[in-house]
Amino acid sequence: DVKVTQSSRYLVKRTGEKVFLECVQDMDHENMFWYRQDPGLGLRLIYFSYDVKMKEKGDIPEGYSVSREKKERFSLILESASTNQTSMYLCASSPGGAASYQPQHFGDGTRLSIL
Amino acid sequence: SQQGEEDPQALSIQEGENATMNCSYKTSINNLQWYRQNSGRGLVHLILIRSNEREKHSGRLRVTLDTSKKSSSLLITASRAADTASYFCATVPSGNTPLVFGKGTRLSVIA
């Protein structure tokens, strides 16, 4: 069965720390995505990638960066964590081709708290 | 960039009743997708309807699409307590761009 695995379900970090959120998919998907989900705001796209070593900014990339060195792994990096980055972070993947046509498969999310 | 907007924001019904959720969007689309999210979990894809389709079924789910009104509806028939979740529509605004999700409808099915 399709599986997207996020490294942590819950994470607590301090302001100013560099934070790494890891996501691995086992479906050989070309496309991977990072979202954050906040009450009343829905899902907002942070970054996405259509291929290894490729990345594109989403709607809210400020304060974040990403890394995709291998096809199956997409990492989200908070360069210097701030309290307004406390949120639920969701990773997703989808097959290649026209990304817009394909349903996305999601991990269970990482609930990140920045103190 | 919010494309889809679900209505209502929250819905509470009795087990066995039907639940209808609506989604409106602003620009032309290639397809529209519905997802479900149980509390504290990731989203699960339910159904995809293409712009040239008007209706699609999957088990107890029925999705309609009206491109002239830029709207879609998700009907869950004979609802169960296990259907309690948030439901999101997601649209593809144009070309090779990622999905854009709405804010969701929170459905509560009371046993």
Q: pLDDT for A73-83, tens place per residue?
A: 999 999 999 99
Residues 6+ apart with CB under 8 A from B93: B1, B3, B27, B28, B29, B100
| pLDDT of res. A96 | 78
Residue with tokens 């560099």: A18
Residue B98: list chain A partners with CB under 8 A: 33, 45, 48, 58, 99-100
Asked if the bond preceding B8 is cis, omega within 30° of 0, the reply is yes
| pLDDT of res. A100 | 58
Task: State what percent of residues in chain A have pLDDT above 70.
Answer: 95
CA distances from A79 to A18, A23, A43, A99 (A): 5, 17, 21, 28
Q: Which of A78, A86, A79, A89 is nearest to A23 (CA)?
A: A89
Residue B44: list chain A partners with CB under 8 A: 106
Task: State what percent of residues in chain B have pLDDT above 70.
Answer: 95
Q: Are the Cβ atoms of A4 and B42 closer than 8 angstroms?
A: yes
